A and B are shown apart, each in its own frame.
Chain A
Amino acid sequence: MHILINIAAIFFLAMGLIFFLGGAVGIIRMPDFYSRLHPAGKLDTLGIFAMVLGLVIYNLHHFSIEVLLLSIKMFLIVFFVFLASPTATHSIVDAGMRAGLRPWTRKTKKE
């Protein structure tokens, strides 16, 4: 049983790390403000979800009510990040559009 829990935890942690790595590369490589926000928003949702899921599974090794409560609290973090992070991304994009920042296109770069 323990080995199964370990395998699942490692799987989700590795998945989260892959998403974080991809997001970090994306933030550096993307050409402009809006497209950089795209990987940054992905990081906070799927990356954190996978990482915390891995930690929750690892935490359930010695099952008891307190441990379950701790796991639920950890999942609450994911829930609130899921609410707050896309809203933050949305408001940043909104502010950028209102301030008059034009999205990047290939054509404008050549000029």
Chain B
Amino acid sequence: MKFIGTVIVCLTGGLLLYGTMDLPDWGDPGSPASTHLSDYYIEHIMEQTQVPNLVTAVLADYRGYDTMFETAVVFCAGLACFLLLRDFRPKKDRYFRHVPTGVMLHFKNPDTRMIADNEFEHMDKDWVPSDMIIKTVCRILIPFIQIYALYVVAHGDFSPGGGFQGGVIFGSSLILMAISYNLKTLVKRVTEKFLSIFAALGVLIYVGLGVGAMVMGGHFLDYGMLAPLLPSDPGHIRALGMLGVEIGVGIAVMAVMVIIYVNIVSEGRHDEGL
């Protein structure tokens, strides 16, 4: 079985390498993309969209369909992770710690109900005392990371950055919280419902901007048609449309990052993990 797998992988890789032989050389000025398309973008982007960052303008406006389906792919990745890993069965073994004495209790019967007040604390099997240095520094850093993520999302029009990068930074700040405290702290604050709604909401914002343009009488994702809705001069409206799209992408990517992390580290139980 392993041998067959190796053969298939080598065959596919060989075919892909064979396919690359037909591609134009790196930076070839005679290739179709460089002869017509690049010149057009470089000459017209500033007057058409007023976005100084050409990469953002190409990705979010000229090739908006591509980016929309990329966001949908990210959403599907989160959905697949949820469907494959999520486990709703209650856990058999439960561990409790008596806080004043530090005694550990191990329950093997899932039907046992703990009758206790705040003296008992539900905990993981491989629990380690949380480190004060790490907790304090992460508590200081997480808000700055999140502000920086918003900055990256909002600044995608002018400088390197955008929805995907900003969303990943925001998601990683939440993952840092799960690592430095524990998974329960994260799940209590950022619930599964919240994450699922936000993952779908991000894609919805993107598609909604496209459909909004259709409603206003233009083509799908033709942001210029949104001009009557927003108080802005018509030349700048495409930049605003791109900003809205970037925000949608950022929300979706942030939520999917956390969904994937939480599902993988807790084996789908959302109770304990890294």
- Where the two chains meet, the residues of A that have a C-beta atom closer than 8 Å to any C-beta of B are 80, 83-84, 87, 90-91, 94, 98
Contacts and interface: CB of A to CB of B under 8 A. Distances in A.
Q: How large is the interface on B (under 10, 10 to 19, 20 to 34, 35 or more residues)?
A: under 10
B144 A80 contact: yes
Given A87-B133, A90-B133, 17 more contacts: A80-B141, A80-B144, A83-B137, A83-B140, A83-B141, A84-B137, A84-B141, A87-B134, A87-B137, A87-B138, A90-B131, A90-B134, A91-B131, A91-B134, A94-B131, A94-B134, A98-B128
A51 B257 CA distance: 34
12 contacts: A80-B141, A80-B144, A83-B140, A84-B141, A87-B137, A87-B138, A90-B131, A91-B131, A91-B134, A94-B131, A94-B134, A98-B128
B3 to A, nearest CB: 36
A7 B133 CA distance: 39
A98 B131 CA distance: 12
A94 B266 CA distance: 22
A5 to B, nearest CB: 26
Nearest to A76: B144
Contacts, number: 19
Contacts of B134: 87, 90-91, 94
Interface of A is mostly: helix
Contacts of A94: 131, 134
Interface in B125-170: 128, 131, 133-134, 137-138, 140-141, 144
A47 B40 CA distance: 44
A47 to B, nearest CB: 20
Interface in B87-137: 128, 131, 133-134, 137
Contacts of A87: 133-134, 137-138
Of A84, A87, A94, A98, chain B has the most CB atoms within 10 Å of the CB of A87
Contacts of A90: 131, 133-134
A75 to B, nearest CB: 14
Contacts of B128: 98
Nearest to A95: B128
A98 B128 CA distance: 9
Contacts of A84: 137, 141
A8 B75 CA distance: 51
Nearest to A79: B144
Contacts of B140: 83
A91 to B, nearest CB: 5
Contacts of A83: 137, 140-141
Contacts of A91: 131, 134
A79 B140 CA distance: 12
A94 B129 CA distance: 11
Nearest to A94: B131
A80 B147 CA distance: 13
Nearest to A83: B137
A100 to B, nearest CB: 13
Contacts of B138: 87
B154 to A, nearest CB: 16
Contacts of A98: 128
A80 B131 CA distance: 20
A66 B141 CA distance: 26
Closest 4 CB pairs of A and B: A87-B137, A91-B134, A83-B137, A90-B133
